[in-house]
Amino acid sequence: MENSIVGVVGAGAMGSGIAQVAAQAGHQVILIDQNEQALERSQSALEKVCSRLVEKGRWTSEQSTAVQDRIQRTGDWSLLEPCALIIEAIIEDLDVKVGAFQQVERIVRDEAVIASNTSSLSLTAIAGKLRRPERFLGLHFFNPAPLMALVEVIPALQTDSRHIESALALMKHWKKEPVVVRDTPGFIVNRVARPFYGEALRIAEEGLADFATIDGAMRTAGFRMGPFELMDLIGNDVNYAVTRSVFEAFYFDPRYRPSLIQRQHVDAGWLGRKSGRGYYDYTEKTTNRDANHAESAWILDRILAMLINEAADALYLGIASAQDLETAMTKGVNYPKGLLVWANEIGLQEVVNMLDGLHARYGEDRYRASVLLRDLATEGKLFNC
């Protein structure tokens, strides 16, 4: 598929970013959207990006023109007919996505591969509604797609294995770092990262530390942003929706329970940077993020123990390989180091002790230690990563 025509359905930020990545890799791209204004915004945004890259000397004018000329923006779905790969990047709604894919299937050739950029929906459920489910899989890019290296490659239960291999090769050709993930709620990143937000919210709910102190503790450990800063950047509505989706998909496992604090922020319209206020007030010239400098190492310990436990459980359940788990968290959400490596450095028994201490204190299944983590700790072994 290296020299094939690529179709992208949806000209929002993600779809436009994916189209740019494909064009930079040399593909002709058909970018589909029924909204003419979305197509215009997409073109204008790419022009600005290309101009900046030329100004900084990273691209020549010829490279800039070539990338832009490779993308054809249209509302005409029939132009997808010659595409060898079509990637959907529209609203996270199962019925809407299924409708789009069924329309694509009526147009494209039988050998075309069809992919979804969904971040949380079941690929197997979507594939089950398609005429040829064996050619369908997930390609989950991270925002902004031209800058973020990670792509989660998610086969549906019905996906032909040869399409997994070709997708991995293509993503590498696009200079991405692909990881293979089983089709489970949240895949790797949106599953393993839940405690980064959830446990931080739990600490705040208990009144044990304020937002700025929790954020400061995590930044001190090497995270680029603390959980509340990051939720404000992502949007509390988006983060809350993903949390609810994962919670419901796991049949209400308490490890993924949403937070009342976050729901109240969403209800108040305090969505973060995009609304001017979230956990911090962005309408002021300076946002107060001065941390309480009292001893806060326990905050990192508690959140990190939960993150490690989630990574260990994902490995135990065969969601992904150890290496792919490490790649996903360092390349997808820029963690300072892989969680399994971090666990080895801390000591697996120490992590188990922290979790057991939380379980004893709260009596909640939320803090149960992963079987794999406990087994390795008991045997005095480390994660092989």
Distances (CA, A) of 48 to 51, 58, 68, 233: 5, 14, 11, 22
The verdict on whether 292 is a catalytic residue reads: no
The verdict on whether 173 is a catalytic residue reads: no
Place of tokens 């989660």: 152
Of residues 116, 120, 140, 344, which has the active-site annotation? 140
Give yes or no for a contact between 12 and 89, defined as CB atoms under 8 angstroms apart. Answer: yes
Place of tokens 């992963």: 370
Q: Which among 222, 194, 227, 233 has a CA at the least distance from the CA of 212?
A: 227
The verdict on whether 92 is a catalytic residue reads: no
Of residues 42, 190, 245, 309, which has the active-site annotation? 190
User: Using CA atoms, how far apart are residues 319 and 155, in angstroms rounded to an integer?
Assistant: 12
> Which H or E run includes 71?
strand 71-74
Q: Which residues contact 280 (CB under 8 A, 6 or more apart)?
A: 211, 228, 229, 232, 287, 288, 289
Which residue type occupies 372?
Answer: L
Instruction: Provide the token pair at 345.
Output: 């450095």
Q: Helix 260-267 crosses helix 236-249 at what angle (to 10 degrees)?
A: 130
Of residues 42, 64, 105, 152, which has the active-site annotation? 152
Give the number of other CB atoms < 10 A from CB of residue 323. 13
The verdict on whether 47 is a catalytic residue reads: no
Place of tokens 């436009």: 16
Give the number of other CB atoms < 10 A from CB of residue 103. 14
Q: Cα 375 to the chain's mean position, in Å?
A: 29
Of residues 16, 64, 117, 119, which has the active-site annotation? 119
Residues known to be catalytic: 119, 140, 152, 190
